């Protein structure tokens, strides 16, 4: 699935940084609102709203930011409880052109080697080609704009990646976002996906079942549609395999009442902890061997390959002056590449590799 419209913008924005163009290029166009590598200013504490003054009171911009900030608080609290030792550190930042973000990272925990949960609020202008890169194929979000005219936009999103220590506890990622242009075009996107190193079918049934319940509450066709989209997006062409075992993904969603899309995003965010935390709790203390750990490291290598080569949010952020620390937050602290490694037939490593090569249904 060519995953995100806004993943581009908001994986670049939230878990991965967001931008419009490098500062050195923006300097050639004075008086234009743009985002660059040095346009992020650290602050001691984030203001009550990073959207204040850009939206009517109670508008979708403010409401979506509030939703993301509340979810960031509750998810980080839950992950700290699962870890039992480490705490998230927080840094906040703003941009001169407007917006900013709150980045939270937990490192070297008892359960989690690294976990991050980033909020980003961005508004400014962007080139039409950058918007096209951020959008699903065939979707024109700059309709009506003159050739070469920059597109005024607003974007808000929350993104997260969790990397546990134990090879039998899977990595999890989510990103939920709202985007609009000053021309009145708006849409929602998001998704939650899981990346295990070893196959546990009960875990996959729990994870996918949790999100199917959420999807069914809103539309009986959502789960199959969004699961397929996730399987297609998190694909590594040069390996002929998926990054993980999927989940759901949706993008360019504006085909029904805005409130319905907002409610779906809200329920998806609320499902992150119940879908993921019980799996980590079940495996955080599993015994494992050095071979298990090395396999986890190799699978993390695949995670890095996908994020740096194919993930549109990461690539967009790197090319357009996003905040580097937020962009690279998604990467694991350790990974490994072994030349021409092929798991031995009949092993657990070979078993899950076959599933990476041929996505399957879990329910």
Which has the minimum average pLDDT: 198-207, 211-220, 306-315? 306-315
Candidates 250, 211, 205; CA nearest to 230 is 250
Candidates 313, 37, 269, 32; CA nearest to 155 is 313
Q: What's the pLDDT score for residue 29?
A: 35
Q: How far is CA 239 from CA 236, 355, 357, in A?
A: 5, 13, 9
Which has the minimum average pLDDT: 112-116, 133-137, 226-230, 353-357? 133-137
The rounded mean pLDDT for the chain is 85
**The tokens of 215 are what?**
């999807």
Q: What's the pLDDT score for residue 38?
A: 54
More confident residue, 138 or 131: 131
Tell whether the model's pLDDT for residue 104 goes beyond 60: yes
Catalytically annotated residue among 40, 163, 173, 208 = 173
Ranges of beta strands (E only) in 20-170 are: 40-43, 89-95, 99-107, 112-126, 151-164
Dist. CA 349–CA 342, nearest whole Å? 9
More confident residue, 150 or 216: 216
Q: Write b or e for each residue in 308-319: b if 16 or more Cβ atoms lie within 10 A of its Cβ, otherwise e.
A: eebbbbbbbbbe
Dist. CA 145–CA 28, nearest whole Å? 22
Classify burial at 232, counting beta carbons within 10 Å of its beta carbon; exposed 0-12, middle 13-18, buried 19 or more: middle
**The tokens of 109 are what?**
């925990």
Q: What's the pLDDT score for residue 35?
A: 46
Q: What's the pLDDT score for residue 26?
A: 31
- Span 65-91, average pLDDT: 97
Pairing of strands 171-181, 112-126: unpaired
**The tokens of 285 are what?**
């203390």
Dist. CA 317–CA 325, nearest whole Å? 11
Q: Which pLDDT tens digit goes with each residue over 221-263?
A: 999 999 999 999 999 999 999 999 999 999 889 999 999 999 9
Dist. CA 142–CA 200, nearest whole Å? 44
- The torsion angle over the Cα atoms of residues 138, 303, 329 and 98, rounded to 10 degrees, is 0
Q: What's the pLDDT score for residue 260?
A: 97
Q: Where are the alpha helices (DSSP H) in 271-340?
A: 272-283, 290-305, 312-319, 324-327
Dist. CA 86–CA 104, nearest whole Å? 12
Q: Clarify whether 40 is annotated catalytic.
A: no
**Phi and psi dihedrals of 348, rounded to 5?**
-60, -30
- Span 119-140, average pLDDT: 70
Tell whether the model's pLDDT for residue 212 goes beyond 90: yes
pTM for the structure as a whole: 0.87
Which has the minimum average pLDDT: 16-25, 41-50, 223-232, 318-327? 16-25
Pairing of strands 171-181, 186-195: antiparallel
H/E stretch holding 193: strand 186-195
Classify burial at 260, counting beta carbons within 10 Å of its beta carbon; exposed 0-12, middle 13-18, buried 19 or more: middle
Residues with Cβ within 8 Å of 141's Cβ and at least 6 positions away in sequence, in order, are 5, 131, 132, 135, 151, 181, 185, 187
Tell whether the model's pLDDT for residue 48 goes beyond 60: yes
Q: Which pLDDT tens digit goes with each residue over 141-192?
A: 666 667 777 878 888 999 999 999 999 999 999 999 999 888 788 999 999 9
Residues with Cβ within 8 Å of 208's Cβ and at least 6 positions away in sequence, in order, are 227, 246, 247, 362, 363
């Amino acid at each position: 699935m060519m995953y995100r419209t806004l993943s581009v913008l908001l994986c670049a924005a939230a878990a991965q940084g967001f931008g419009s163009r490098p500062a050195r290029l923006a300097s050639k166009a004075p008086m234009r609102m743009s985002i660059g590598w040095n346009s992020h200013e650290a602050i001691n504490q984030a203001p009550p709203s990073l959207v204040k003054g850009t939206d009517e009171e109670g508008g979708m911009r403010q409401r979506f930011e509030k939703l993301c900030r509340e979810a960031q608080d509750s998810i980080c609290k839950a992950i700290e409880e699962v870890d039992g030792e480490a705490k998230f550190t927080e840094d906040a930042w703003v941009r001169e052109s407007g917006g900013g973000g709150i980045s939270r990272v937990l490192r070297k925990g008892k359960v989690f080697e690294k976990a991050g949960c980033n909020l980003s609020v961005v508004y400014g202008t962007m080139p039409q080609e950058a918007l096209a890169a951020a959008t699903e194929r065939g979707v024109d979000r700059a309709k009506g704009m003159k050739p070469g005219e920059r597109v005024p936009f607003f974007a808000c999103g929350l993104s997260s990646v969790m990397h546990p220590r134990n090879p039998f506890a899977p990595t999890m990622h989510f990103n939920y976002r709202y985007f609009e242009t000053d021309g009145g075009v708006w849409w929602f996107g998001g998704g939650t996906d899981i990346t295990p190193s070893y196959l546990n079918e009960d875990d996959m049934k729990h994870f996918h079942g949790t999100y199917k319940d959420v999807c069914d509450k809103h539309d009986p066709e959502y789960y199959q549609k969004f699961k397929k989209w996730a399987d297609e997006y998190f694909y590594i062409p040069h390996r002929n395999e998926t990054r993980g075992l999927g989940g759901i993904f949706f993008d360019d969603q504006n085909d029904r009442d805005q409130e319905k899309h907002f409610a779906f995003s809200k329920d998806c965010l609320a499902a992150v902890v119940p879908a993921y935390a019980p799996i980590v709790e079940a495996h955080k203390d599993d015994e494992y061997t050095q071979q298990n750990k090395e396999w986890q490291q190799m699978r993390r290598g695949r995670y890095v390959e996908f994020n740096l080569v194919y993930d549109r949010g990461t690539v967009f952020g790197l090319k357009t002056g996003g905040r580097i620390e937020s962009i690279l937050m998604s990467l694991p602290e350790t990974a490994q590449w072994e030349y021409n490694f092929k798991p031995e037939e009949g092993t657990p490593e070979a078993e899950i590799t076959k599933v990476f090569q041929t996505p399957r249904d879990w329910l």
